[in-house]
Chains A and B, each alone.
Chain A
Amino acid sequence: MTTPTPTASEHRSTDDPRITLDEGVGVFEPIPPYPPRTEREAEFYTLGDGEMFINMGPQHPSTHGVLRVVLKLDGEKVVDLDPVLGYLHRGVEKLCENADYHQTISQVDPLEYVSSLFCEWSPVMAYEKLLDVEVPRRAEYIRVLSGELNRIASHALFMGWMALDLGGLTPILWSFIERDEIVEMLAALTGQRMLFNYFRIGGVNGDLNHEFMSRLGDWMSRATQQIESNISLLNANEIFVRRMRGLGVIDTATALRMCMTGPNLRATGVPFDVRRAHPYSVYPELDFDIPT
């Protein structure tokens, strides 16, 4: 039985998703790759006097997820670095090519798995613009509510992990208590703790239910105090503050040149928040400040 040969621009060697150990699993590029393929590589992979390369490999406690960074060190000081991405490239865009619009909503969840509702919101809004679908106000408010809860959960995880990278084991435990509560709330609403698959074109997948509201009310009664205590655990800690203060300062021009967004851009002083600058959903009606 003959198997057809793929056409020219198709799978060869490492292209094949069905690889086994014998066939050689993936490529580990030596440092430095020789000959250098681009100008930047030639510049980076030329060692100055007393410099060395250290590979902060894809598996590392503080590269959250998998990120490989090739560091060029001068003693202990990092002089230059070359991040290598792609260790979690799953081909979602290609899988979405053959899917219906609704199927893509669940496919894009894991792109930002810590706060997946925002990752769903973007394509759903795009589809609604294309189809001229108007979303009912109740659904918009549910979207904002669940989205902002997800944002709080994601930032709680971030705060915990940031402290864990510096060596503190307590903040992550506290943050995960908070995150678990919020995530259980969202599980009562959407059915899943993460990767919710909740937004639909024209609304959401299900209305608020009693369990969600009771959990929400329960959490709200102690939310402020919990968040305050988590934050002050870090801010009042002298070691944390002295290690973090003054690090990684970026000015506005550099930030705009690097196409930074989000809290990082706001930290440079630009009061750019998409929810204010280019409001979508019901954000024009909501009143909040933009911290810079």
Chain B
Amino acid sequence: MAVSKDARNRAVKGLGTGPADVTQLASDQPGNRPGALVAAQPRDLVEPIVVPNTLWQSVEPAAYAGGRASEITHLREVEASGIARHDDARWSGMLEIIPTKADYVLDLIRANSLWPLLSGLACCAIEMMSAATSKNDMDRWGMFPFRASPRQADVLIVAGTLTTKMAGPLVRLWEQMPEPKWCVAMGDCTCSGGRYKRSYSTVEGIDRVMPVDVYVPGCPPRPEGLIFGMMKLQQLIKDRRGHWPERPIGPTVPEGV
């Protein structure tokens, strides 16, 4: 669906299609363009997907290679659709919105009592547990009951590396969860494969097998980071921006990745 057969074939053979000289400079060095997501033919025009960073600056002068913050903030499509403007998870905007529909109340109810499914696979599970226990308490947002059964869960927090052997059971769990459901990819391994990107037995990011709403990067992300991701998910639910209403059934990984 999202991944064309051509791209998949290229992916299957495991070959990049970048320039013949594979020695590229790192993208965070000043003056380099990121070479990500190059097109199929070497002679095609390669446009970077960079959105210029006008949103934030680092206060630390020595950060980001001499004061220039990273040029890449998010995908161009996100910028074009305008939702990036609301992507701040701050509560100050809430008071200005006057509820006019009962749907809004339902969304509030759903957002404030998200029940996660216990899907701790690896190291991130320990940080997820840490986020659920006393010091960083997820119960403040109503997320304490980690349901063991997918039939009773709202959100699937995939915490830990997804291997090819586990992918089947995990997708089966996802399909067993009743709508409305959301998915949070916690940790680098679930966002993009992380440190196991080259490995023979891991899936490079769970968005290859299921639609993901929130990505929480980190290896492992701090419990506060996971809580920030969950708050962002709550914001998503209230803005009805999640994948759920017009949900694609399968993976959401972009083409060519």
Q: Is A173 interfacial (CB 8 A cutoff)?
A: yes
Band of interface residues on B: 35 or more
Contact code string B192-236 (vs A, CB < 8 Å = 1, else 0): 010110111111100011100000000110100000000000000
- Nearest Cβ distance between residue A156 and chain B, in whole angstroms? 11
A91: which of B123, B146, B167, B196 is its contact (CB, 8 Å)?
A: B196
- Interface membership of A231, Cβ < 8 A: no
A273 to chain B, nearest CB (A): 25
**Known contacts A16-B14, A25-B167, A87-B163; can you find 19 more A-B pairs with CB under 8 A?**
A11-B14, A17-B202, A17-B204, A18-B8, A19-B164, A20-B209, A21-B171, A21-B208, A25-B168, A25-B203, A26-B169, A28-B169, A66-B166, A87-B166, A157-B126, A176-B133, A177-B134, A183-B130, A193-B130
**Pair A16/B12 contact, Cβ less than 8 Å:** yes
- In the bound assembly, the distance between CA atoms of A173 and B134 in angstroms comes to 6
Inter-chain contact B199/A91, CB cutoff 8 Å? yes
Q: Which residues of A contact B (CB under 8 A)?
A: 1, 3-6, 11, 14-23, 25-28, 57-61, 65-66, 86-92, 94-95, 106-107, 110, 113-114, 157, 172-174, 176-177, 179-180, 183, 193-195
User: Which of chain A's residues have a CB closer than 8 A to the CB of B240?
Assistant: none
Q: Is B38 an interface residue (CB 8 A)?
A: no
From B49-57, B89-97, B114-122, give the one contacting chain A: B114-122
Contact B199 A17 (CB under 8 A): yes
Can you give 22 contacting A-B residue pairs, CB < 8 Å?
Answer: A1-B17, A4-B13, A11-B200, A17-B199, A17-B202, A18-B208, A19-B208, A25-B171, A26-B164, A26-B168, A27-B165, A59-B170, A65-B125, A88-B163, A89-B201, A92-B196, A113-B122, A157-B126, A172-B133, A173-B133, A179-B130, A195-B219
Is B29 an interface position by the 8 A CB rule?
Answer: no
Task: Find chain A residues with CB under 8 A from B200 CB.
Answer: 11, 15, 17, 91, 94
Distance in angstroms from A31 CB to nearest chain B CB is: 14
Q: Which residues of B contact A92 (CB under 8 A)?
A: 196, 199
Contact of A65 among B122, B127, B173, B209 (CB under 8 A): B122
B161 at the interface (CB under 8 A from A): yes
| Contact (A177, B164) CB under 8 Å given A19-B203, A90-B196, A90-B199 | no
Q: Is the interface of B mostly helix, strand, loop or mixed?
A: loop
B81 contacts chain A at the CB level, 8 A cutoff? no
CB < 8 Å: which of B133, B160, B163, B172 contacts A177? Answer: B133
Contact B135 A177 (CB under 8 A): yes
How far, in angstroms, from A147 to B27 measured CA to CA in the complex?
A: 36
Q: Within 8 Å CB of A25, what residues of B?
A: 164, 167-168, 171, 203, 209
| Contact residues in A for B220 (Cβ distance below 8 Å) | 193-195
Q: By the criterion CB–CB under 8 Å, are B166 and A20 in contact?
A: no
Task: Collect the chain B residues with CB atoms within 8 Å of residue A193's CB.
Answer: 127, 130, 220, 222
- Expressed in whole angstroms, the Cα–Cα distance for A92 and B196 within the complex equals 8
B152 within 8 A of partner (CB): no
Instruction: Give Cα A263 to B158, complex, Å.
Output: 31
> Would you call B148 an interface residue if the criterion is a C-beta within 8 Å of the partner chain's C-beta atoms?
yes
Residues on the A chain within 8 Å of B208, using CB:
18-21
* A1 touching B41 in the complex, CB below 8 Å, given contacts A110-B122, A193-B127: yes
B251 in the interface (beta carbon within 8 A):
yes
Known: A1-B41, A194-B126. A95 touches B198 (CB 8 A): yes
Are A3 and B13 in contact, CB atoms less than 8 angstroms apart? yes
| List of B residues within 8 angstroms of A88 by Cβ | 121-122, 160-161, 163, 166
Question: Of residues B164, B198, B208, B210, which shows the largest number of chain A Cβ atoms within 10 Å of its Cβ?
Answer: B164
Q: Which of B102-122 contact A (CB under 8 A)?
A: 118-122
Query: Does the CB pair B169–A90 fall under 8 Å?
Result: no
Residue of B nearest to A172 (CB): B133
Give complex CA distance A113, B129 in Å. Answer: 13
What are the 8 A-B residue pairs with the smallest beta carbon separation, nearest first? A26-B168, A113-B123, A91-B199, A176-B133, A25-B167, A3-B13, A87-B166, A180-B135
Q: Give the chain B neighbours of A195 by CB distance below 8 A.
A: 123, 219-220
Chain A residues contacting B219 (CB-CB under 8 Å) are: 195
List residues of chain B with CB within 8 A of the CB of A106: 195
Contacts of A11 in B (CB 8 A): 12, 14, 200
State whether B135 touches A59 (Cβ < 8 A): no
Provide the bound-state CA to CA distance between A204 and B41, in Å: 47
Given contacts A3-B10, A90-B196, A157-B126, contact A17 B169 (CB under 8 A): no
Interface flag for B15 (CB, 8 Å): yes
B37: interface (CB < 8 Å): no
B201 touches A21 (CB 8 A): no
In Å, the complex CA distance between A11 and B200 comes to 9
